[in-house]
Structure formats: C-alpha cells, structure tokens
Amino acid sequence: MVHRCRTLQSILLLFLIGTLLPPSTAFAPHQRTAIARTSLSAQPTPRRFDPSYKKKPPVFNKSTSLWEPSDETEPEPYGPFGSFLRGGPSPFLVRVFQPSQYDQAVFKYMAQTSCSRAEAQGNMDAYFNNAADWTYQKMQEANGRPVIDYTQLKLKDAILVITWALFVTPFLGRCGYLIAFGDKGWGIGLSDVFNI
C-alpha cells in the first residue's frame, strides 16, 4: 500500500518537473543556480525593457515597511490567470494565496527599474516560476545582452502551461476522487487511476 503510494508520488513528481521546466533549465539547473547564488550580493540594478514609461514609481513607506503604488501607478494589467499563462502554476499560486507578497515584489521592481506595472508583473511571474533562471538572465542583461520582454505572453509558454493544466489537473482530480470515494483510499495504484 505504502509502496504504491510512493510510486504514484514519484511519477507525479517527475511528470510535474518534466512539464514545468523548459528544456534549457532541465539540463543545466545546477550550473545556473550556482552562478546566480554567487552574484546575488553584488547584483546590479536590472535594466528595464521599455524606456518610454514615465510614470512616478511606487514608494517605500517606512512606517509600514511596505511598498505603496504612487498616485500615477496604473491598475494591475492582468490577473492571476495571466500570470498562470506566463509563468505557470507558481506565480499563479503566489497571486492567489499571497497577493500582497506578489504586489510588494511588483512595486519594488517598479521602483528599482522605473518600469511599468506590466513589465514588473512579467518579470515577477518569471521570477516566481524560476528564480535562478530569471537572475541568470538579469546578469546576462547587465553584461550587455539584450533585455528580454517578459510582458509579452509567449505562445510556447502558454501552450506548455495549458497542456500541463489539461493533463495534470484531471489526473490529480481523479486521484483525489479515488482516494476520497474509492474503496482503497490512499492505497490506489496507477492501474486504478487509468482504469477509467
């Protein structure tokens, strides 16, 4: 019974990791993480993608220790589902369960780089999806590489995420259903799950 559960868990985990990570991160995660870690202390201020944005950036309120939008800061350009399509389940979950943490990250990034809220959200979606990769990219940009437009919704990312949702969600749903209402409870195996 325990063994079956473990198998199910491992397969699920592998499946999640395989579908979530873009191929580039799957092959060199350690290298990238190492590079990102060593340089965190001396990180340069990121450059913004759109230099035409002119609105007053958010400000840090010392009495509350929170970033506050300025009176010119625009409302959020897209909701949690937009984050889901850009960065997958991680930024989506951050926005649903810790909305203020997400907004704080967005306002701080806007203040640091004087960028638009859309650009900051795109960057934070990428950050919450894979912090090491995002940091690595920012270092590349600091060294003269072109700045990536994280605001734009890339078709490839969206397809990856939708595929993930279409296949994994029903799979998890069926597991949950079998565990809750099946006669085996937590003892379900793969054969039960796929014996639809």
Ligand X SMILES: *[C@@H]1O[C@H](CO)[C@@H](O)[C@H](O)[C@H]1NC(C)=O
The whole-angstrom separation of Cα 71 and Cα 144 is: 33
What stretches of the chain show up as alpha helix (H) in DSSP? 2-20, 23-27, 29-39, 80-87, 89-97, 99-113, 117-129, 131-142, 155-181, 190-194
Tell me the two tokens of residue 138.
Answer: 């920012």
Contacting range for ligand X; rule: CB under 6 A; set: 57-65, 80-88, 149-157, 158-166: 57-65
The whole-angstrom separation of Cα 171 and Cα 11 is: 12
Nearer to ligand X, 63 or 191 (CB): 63
Contacting range for ligand X; rule: CB under 6 A; set: 5-13, 25-33, 59-67, 77-85: 59-67
**Which of residues 63, 65, 100, 143 is near ligand X by CB under 6 A?**
63
**Which of residues 38, 41, 52, 64 is near ligand X by CB under 6 A?**
64
Contacting range for ligand X; rule: CB under 6 A; set: 14-22, 62-70, 72-80, 81-89: 62-70
The whole-angstrom separation of Cα 135 and Cα 25 is: 13
Per DSSP, 60 falls in state: E
- For residue 100, state whether it binds ligand X (rule: CB under 6 A): no
For residue 157, count other CB atoms closer than 10 A to its CB. Answer: 18
**Which of residues 9, 31, 61, 101 is near ligand X by CB under 6 A?**
61
Residue nearest to ligand X according to CB distances in the complex: 61
Q: Which residues bind ligand X (CB under 6 A)?
A: 61, 63-64, 68
